[in-house]
Structure 1
Amino acid sequence: MKVKGHLLLFMFFAIACSKKEKKAVLHASAPKSGVSLYILGTAQDGGSPHIGCKKECCSILFENPDHERKVVSLGVVDHENSKSFLFEATPDMPSQLRLLKEHSQKDEEAPDGIFLTHAHIGHYTGLMYLGREAMGAKAVVLYSMPKMKSFLENNGPWNQLVDLKNILITEIENEKRVQLTSNLSVIPFTVPHRDEYSETVGYKIIGNHKSALFIPDIDKWSKWEKSIVEEISKVDFAFLDATFHDGKEINNRDISEIPHPFVIESTKLFERLPDKEKAKIHFIHFNHTNPLLNDNSDEFNNLINQGFNVAQFNKKIDL
């Protein structure tokens, strides 16, 4: 009787656990709906830790990497139409595409389209993973501005991706809407930046209900013909260049060669915005020296206390 009682008890727990596991599996595989934006990376082009960096900000990370420190990228998924899109092709693209695949619940590793902002190393060199040495992708649609398109088509090794039809480049135009699905569209717009090889663009990403601004790289806000304050007012979320918190970070480079709006300059510009407008702003594209990468830093907490946001890896935002 004692053995039988233990057996019955074991069977009861086994059935209960089995039901819990099935419930968990069903919950995990439940179909998603609407349009979702995912933050797939927040760091500046060189990543974190940064090559050649001997400062404390990197020394610990070389020994104990933080796997959430990925180069700036967004993923957007239209769950209803089962379409996924990647913004930026970074050196971290393999892991970012895997994450996007998990979020989209699609079988294909490659997205339905990739949008590039410009030809600086953290924003397009991930395209190499689509080539014959890696994925050997077939006709991945690449949305590109005219100068960027010409750069890829006329320079190796990128033109090999074109010749082998690993990528199909679709030319996009400044301020002209690209309708991707019935629920999702994108508007590119040029911004001032160091345009050695291509123009630089930001994107307005528009879902059924909400929209987001994505400007990971720009020179000073004052150099732009548009008002960033007005552009923020037109959207629900704004992912904005926060490469450097202030000029003290860069003590071995000529800061005029790598102009960006310091975070302290941006917060000064935005300080009189209503709380609702401040809450739209998510700072992104952090240099390895930027204290905003550390959520325990005084700079991070000060920014949050002012009503702004710091972009967080793998965060989901519904559009």
Structure 2
Amino acid sequence: MSTDTNPTSQATLEARAADSGANATAAFRKKPRALDVPTERVDAIATDALQALHEVIRKHRLTYEEYDALKSWLIQVGEDGEWPLFLDVWLEHVVEDVNTDHREGNKGSIEGPYYVPGSPEQGSHGTIPMRDDEPGEAMTFQGQVRTTDGSALPHAKVELWQANADGFYSQYAPGLPDWNLRGSFTTDDEGRFEIHSIVPAPYQIPTDGACGKLIAAAGWHAWRPAHLHLKVSAPDHELLTAQLYFPGDPHNQDDIATAVKPELMLDPKPAADGQGKVVDYDFVIDPVRA
């Protein structure tokens, strides 16, 4: 989560990819995983994946020196704890696509490696937890949660988390309160919510670890456009995970995580009092199929 928007920031000076990766790996290990996959499906997926890699090796005539470099790099990914980052940046957008292509409601996007459950509840109209002197332009994010028939969903849950103005997430960089810019909100009787926060900044994913080495070796950039992370849920409805983006960001077109979709673009307006921005965005979530 490094960034050069404020090179004197204490978090910028001290945050390390290995620390962030270790936290992401530890958080992932807490997720429940009680999955009994049939042998036939494991065989089919693993066989196809290996055959695809075999074809890459043949197509590019991989040398033994390159093969050893690959093994060394894979070992470093594990040592740096960056498997969650690697998988979420370069693979998750395809997993998200195939798992949500049946939905009639809002488009979603990747969760990414920095979600933390259990953020503080702030009601239907509230301010996300932040420091008294939190840098950034004020933003009011408001809207309504509905089901696919257009009915409002009262008491739906809207979880919001975002990076700070330096591009860092709380619990994954030093010097930030645990729940900084992380909050849970519950819609009112009309399914509406109003959240006071700040406009996020674009940032680079960590570049001092194994993922950064891949980016440098391939000549890629490490930037993600500014975005809000959200999870929207209601009883008997499918969980919607999304990232919402801001127009004009230079990396909307070449996001390193390939997660930007036109339907996820926001339309910020100046606040009536001239203080910051107002963003209106409604969520339509799908009922669980029988």
Tell me if TM exceeds 0.5. Answer: no
TM range (shorter): under 0.3
Choose 1 or 2 for highest CA Rg: 1
RCO higher in structure (CA 8 A, sep ≥6): 2
TM-score (norm 2): 0.23
TM-score by length of 1: 0.21
Q: Which has the larger helix fraction?
A: 1
